[in-house]
Amino acid sequence: MNHRRPAALGVALCIAVVSSLVTGCQSDPVSGLAIPRSPLPPPPSSARTATPATPAPTSTLKRPGDCASLVTGLDVRAQVAQLVVVGVSGDNPGATVSMVRDNQVGGIFIGGNATALLKDRSLDAVQAAAKLPVAVSVDEEGGRVQRIDDLDGEIPSARVMAATKSPAQVRALAADRGRQLRARGVTVDFAPDTDVTDAPDDDVIGDRSFSPDPNRVKTYAAAFAAGLRDGGVQPVLKHFPGHGHGSGDSHKGTVVTPPLAQLRTLDLVPYRNLADYGPVSVMVGHLDVPDLTGGVPASISPAAYQLLRTEFKFTGPVVTDDLGAMKAITAQYSLPDAVLKALQAGADEALWSSGGRVDEVLNRLVQAVQSGELPKTRVQESVTRVLRGKGACG
């Protein structure tokens, strides 16, 4: 998907998710130090220029290890509601509160340049309206893809970061940004971009990529991801299986990548040894891999999710790219059918930045579970990942 700022190019933005949190420690890919794998910390008190947001009431959180009873204690509609990430307007906090209260969705995505929802503790009311914590996501990559630059200042694009800063400096920059986001109530950032390309800056990926060298991409993406976690925000790697050498822009239509064998030598290299990144989520793009997805976008292809889960051994939450505002999907499928196909294929969270139609989507998903189109075990597996990612259990 193209994340150009809507004020400049009028492009609808996308995406959301929550990242997997597990206990224990692992070696940090940037510093080599052991880092804890633990639930999100509370908003740091040192965030600059932002009004700290109050975390979701602890009474809504289940104790660690209680995932099975929490998931099975939810009815079907409540379960499938946890698997959607709905776009909301940044200038209408009241409408967002009402939508969350009425539908109990698992996540929201704040796109565009409006910032009312990110000020004056507005997201406190959103969390208070939810029975379970809500994942609050944005696109904050730097460069032309920023959401809080009008509030907290700009940060450079990925390409500029890699050209002018060390990995340690990028981690520090991302940590600072993470603290600013978390203090405003954001819990998930759809960043860093792990695509590999040397395309011009203004290409669909372009300067959103750290480098045409896949190993350098991984080094800097790992630094940025670690920094976000340092600041209390969960990172999301995108766009699996690799948008950097695709044929075009999935906002405008079908995007075809090189064959899988070629992807393995370049675009998929940053996804090797995913544990090196620490706890992250992965976003699957609307990318047709000719010898893998069979002519459909990866975001609704079982083969793409199987590749991520088996060859790349990823066990964390997986979110789709935007299902509601990109012609690679909307030209072929209605929103309810696209969401259903994504969950059937293996996604844990289905995102649509366009917002609205929540009842319509949830009704279709409930019907699919009741008819067996969407197996209950498939739903409960994803709900468990999502709730663990939010620190609600496990």
168-191 confidence digits (pLDDT tens) = 999 999 999 999 999 999 999 999
Kindly report the backbone phi and psi dihedral angles of residue 145, in degrees, each rounded to the nearest multiple of 5, phi listed first.
-120, 85
Q: How far apart are CA 280 and CA 38, in angstroms?
A: 12
Confidence band of 375 (pLDDT split at 50, 70, 90): very high
Place 49 in a pLDDT band, splitting at 50, 70 and 90.
very low
Check: CB of residue 85 under 8 Å from CB of residue 105. Answer: yes
pLDDT digits (tens, 9 = 90+) for 96-149: 999 999 999 999 999 999 999 999 999 999 999 999 999 999 999 999 999 999
Query: Residues 15, 321: contact at Cβ < 8 Å?
Result: yes
Q: What is the pLDDT of residue 65?
A: 57
SS3 264: helix
Asked if 127 and 56 count as a contact pair (C-beta separation under 8 A), the reply is yes
Q: How far is Cα 236 from Cα 248, in angstroms, rounded to an integer? A: 22
Mean pLDDT of 287-316: 97
What pLDDT is recorded for position 221? 98
Structure tokens at 52: 């700290």
pLDDT in tens, 249-287: 888 888 999 999 999 999 999 999 999 999 999 999 999
Q: Indicate if 124 belongs to the active site.
A: no
Identified catalytic residue from 251, 276, 286, 322? 251
Which tokens in the block code for residue 214?
A: 């896949």
- Its pTM stands at 0.86
pLDDT in tens, 341-373: 999 999 999 999 999 999 999 999 999 999 999
Q: Quote the pLDDT of residue 394.
A: 78
Alpha helices (runs of H) in the chain, residue ranges in sequence order:
6-9, 67-72, 76-81, 93-103, 122-128, 149-152, 158-164, 167-183, 214-230, 260-265, 302-310, 327-330, 335-345, 358-371, 376-389
- Helices vs. strands in the chain: H and E counts, helices first: 15, 12
Q: Which of 152, 195, 321, 348 is catalytic?
A: 321
Question: Among this protein's residues, is 348 annotated catalytic?
Answer: no
- C-alpha pair distances (Å), 335 with each of 100, 106, 301, 354: 19, 17, 16, 10
**What are the chain's domains?**
12-389 (3.20.20.300)
If you average pLDDT over every residue of the chain, what do you get? 87
